[in-house]
Amino acid sequence: MMLKNKLLLSVFLVFGILHNTLSQKILTKMADKTCDCINQKVNHYGGSKPELFQACLIETINANLKTLEKEFGEGAFTNNKENAVKIGNKISKLLAARCEIFLDFYVNQDSTLNMKTDSINKLAFAKMDSGSYAEAIPLYSKILEVDPVNFEAYNARGYCYYYNGQVYRAISDYIQATDINPKFAKAFSNMALAKYSLNDLITAIEDANHAISLDTTLAVAYNNRGLIYYKNSLYDSAFFDFSKAARLNPASALYKYNTGIILSELNKDALAIEYYNKAMDLNYINADIYNRIGMSLFKLKRYKNAAESFTMSIAVDSTNSTYYKNRGLSYENISEYQKAIADYTATLRLDSSDCETYVKRGNAYIHLNLIKDAYTDFTKATELKCEEAKDLIDKNCK
């Protein structure tokens, strides 16, 4: 049986994660000495096994103080207990692999631990899955109180922190998860997304690359790296990653949607529409995707179809001025100026500072020979610093 490194909290009050510069050779030596101590004392020790393990760990540290103080400074452990916090996790992992008594005890403890945390974990996951991130966070915290090396719980709580708008706390939890399990690709991928949201694109790409190096089949890692490439306008690279994610996880509508966005950026709008439709087939239906389909249709000069798609956007969200404006542009391109004017008016009702829309509506008025209305719109656009409106007044309104 393999131990999952689930240790009692009392051990971790004294010991934690080792300083990065301390060598594996020293750690292994300390683990062997601790195991020897346990084997020698187990038959006549009066306390519990966890107390014995802790006593032997302390004895080993005391015997290696000079070596440790070279790393942390003289008196670091005798004068300040906080400096000892980083040692037990690493030694305990080695004990789990090298010390039979230690391993057997915690394997038996593991089943009890699972019973304590399993029901909480199920409830926490249900809260997270339903989007109740604030409610899931304290549940994962309870799991970590009982099981302080549960890297999956750290990752899940980090995920909840991120989607609850607490990005720095999310990153802190992802770091904890990867400290405990340096091969945990999902946590590196999630950390990349969190750093991306903070515009820390250099380290974000490093984390995404590392996640992919650990697991070349992890679709979300490709998606997250694609977002970083997209942010940097590296559209070919983003397309590779989004399409790779979509192939690895065909059931993900989001990956198909993201592939559609990149294809549109690459001026492959017919193919982009195909991917948007694939996303919608998987129930990814919202105002934005109708708008993006409409923009691709517009670029393909299919203006009537574009107007129909923008109408769907408006049906889902009637508060977004962009959707009215885009439909107005579509109507204008098929010479339906009355409809264009109505949409430009709706746009300005939602955003009265949009000088470009005043220009557009003014041009539509010109086509209907409504010169006075056009003059009013061009004048307003001039006041809003649309310089082109001055030339339109001179050309059309005098």
- Whether 1 shows a pLDDT value over 50: the answer reads no
pTM exceeds 0.75, yes or no: no
Instruction: Please give the residue that has the higher pLDDT: either 3 or 306.
Output: 306
Of 94, 107, 3, the closest CA to residue 49 belongs to: 107
DSSP state of 215: -
Count of H-run helices and E-run strands, the chain: 22, 0
Q: Is 166 within 8 Å of 132 (Cβ atoms)?
A: no
pLDDT tens per residue, range 39-84:
998 888 887 777 888 888 888 888 887 887 777 666 656 554 455 5
- Torsion angle, CA of 53/56/60/62, rounded to 10 degrees? 120
Using CA atoms in the order 89, 94, 100, 106, what is the torsion angle rounded to 10 degrees? 20
Mapping DSSP to helix (H, G, I), strand (E, B) and coil, where does residue 46 land?
coil
According to DSSP, residue 82 is labeled G
Please report the beta strands in the chain, taking only residues with DSSP state E, as ranges in sequence order.
none
User: What's the pLDDT at 291?
Assistant: 97
Q: Residue 343 in contact with residue 327, Cβ under 8 Å?
A: yes
All domains of the chain, ordered by start, with CATH?
Answer: 1-98 (no CATH), 113-181 (1.25.40.10), 353-398 (no CATH)
Cα–Cα distance between 165 and 188 in angstroms, integer? 19
In order of 88, 115, 146, 151, 177, the CA distances from 108 in angstroms are 20, 12, 15, 20, 24
Q: What is the predicted pLDDT for the residue at 109?
A: 55
Confidence band for 184, pLDDT divided at 50, 70 and 90: very high
Give the per-residue pLDDT at 53.
84
Q: Indicate the average pLDDT of the chain.
A: 86
Read off φ and ψ for residue 234, nearest 5 degrees.
Answer: -95, 75
Contact call for residues 3 and 94 (beta carbons, < 8 A): no
Spell out the alpha helix ranges (H) of 249-397.
Answer: 253-265, 269-281, 287-299, 303-316, 321-333, 337-350, 355-367, 371-383, 388-396
Closest CA to 212 of 244, 251, 257: 244
Dihedral sign (CA 210, 215, 217, 219)? negative
- Residue 42 tokens read as 């187990």
Assign 184 to helix, strand or coil. coil
> Is the per-residue pLDDT at 25 higher than 80?
no
Checking if the pLDDT of 106 tops 50, the result is yes
Cβ atoms of residues 330 and 294 within 8 Å: yes
Return the percent helix, strand and coil in the chain, to nearest 5: 75, 0, 25
* pLDDT of the residue at 108: 57
